[in-house]
Amino acid sequence: MPGERTPFVTRRWWVLLALIVVVGFVGRAWNLDFDQGQHLHPDERHWSFTAAELARQPAPDPHGTALGPALDWLDGQRSPANPYRATPSFVYGPVMLTAARSAAGWMHSGVVDGDQPAAAVVDVLDAIGIPLIDGDGSPTFDNGYEFEIIGRLLAALLDTITILVVGLIGRRLSGPATGLVAAGFYASCVLAIQHAHFLGSEPLLGLCSALLVLATISID
């Protein structure tokens, strides 16, 4: 039938989309340590101060039940995800802060204690140019004040997924060519690349918004 997409055309579309996604990730992950740990961005500095104070908070007394860990997360006065345990003002939401600190703690244990697969992940990322290990083999980050580079990496990954979602939205609305053009435009969007170089909530918000649009237009 005219206009029918063959398996070859479909595979070629996915290959082209994958290339756009890879190029977009390179742009977002390039020179993540642009300020060399100086915390030049005021919002990021506030995140780092908050993370450092959270890391210093004493662990809450255990509940003494099997559901204790879950109850700790749900209790605002005890939850490690609650930034207000460390600061009177945090207007960015706790999700990215918690995700970045958790990833940083996991990866830090990989470098310091050799825990796998965290150690392998850090080695691969360092090998491709993201400076996570210094010259003497020590981590350049932690899950406190120095966690911003892990947050930036997480932001780059989230925004890279958004490129894929934007491509699927364009394809769903107007066909394969539109999907590739849309993905290409977003992959090269200067503002998106800038946001992906900072630890913040914008990349997560953008991804969630794109997923919501895709889910909405996919409802038959």
Please tell me the predicted confidence (pLDDT) of residue 199. 92
The DSSP secondary-structure symbol of 128 reads: T
Say what the pLDDT of residue 133 is: 93
Q: Which is more confident, 180 or 39?
A: 180
pLDDT at 1: 36
Closest CA to 29 of 201, 196, 171: 196
Residue 19 pLDDT exceeds 90: yes
Q: Are 201 and 92 in contact (CB under 8 A)?
A: yes
- DSSP element (H, E) containing 44: helix 42-56
Task: Look up residue 152 and give its DSSP letter.
Answer: H
At residue 196, the pLDDT reads: 94
CB atoms within 10 A of CB 94: 17
pLDDT band at 145 (very low <50, low <70, confident <90, very high): very high
CA distance 81 to 85: 9
pLDDT reading at 4 higher than 50: no
DSSP state of 59: P
CA-based end-to-end distance of the chain: 23
More confident call, 7 vs 150: 150
Q: Using one digit for the tens of pLDDT, what is the confidence trace for 109-125?
A: 999 998 899 999 999 99
Higher pLDDT, 34 or 79: 34
pLDDT at residue 65 in the model: 72
Average pLDDT value for the chain: 89
Bridge partner list, 133? 139
Q: Give one DSSP letter per residue of 60-125, joined into a string.
A: PPP-SSTTHHHHHHH-TTT-TT-GGGT-S---S-SHHHHHHHHHHHHHHHHHHH--TTHHHHHHHH
Rounded average pLDDT over 195-217: 95
Q: How many Cβ atoms are within 10 Å of 216's Cβ, its own excluded?
A: 9
* SS3 state at 175: coil
Using CA atoms, how far residue 57 sits from 17, 142, 146, in Å, is 45, 15, 16
The pLDDT score that the predictor gives to residue 3 is 44
Under the banding of pLDDT at 50, 70 and 90, the label for residue 9 is low
Whole-angstrom distance, CA of residue 182 vs CA of residue 160: 13
Is the per-residue pLDDT at 55 higher than 50? yes
pLDDT for res 122: 94
Two structure tokens written together for 74: 């749900």
- Give residue 183's pLDDT band: very low, low, confident or very high (50, 70, 90): very high
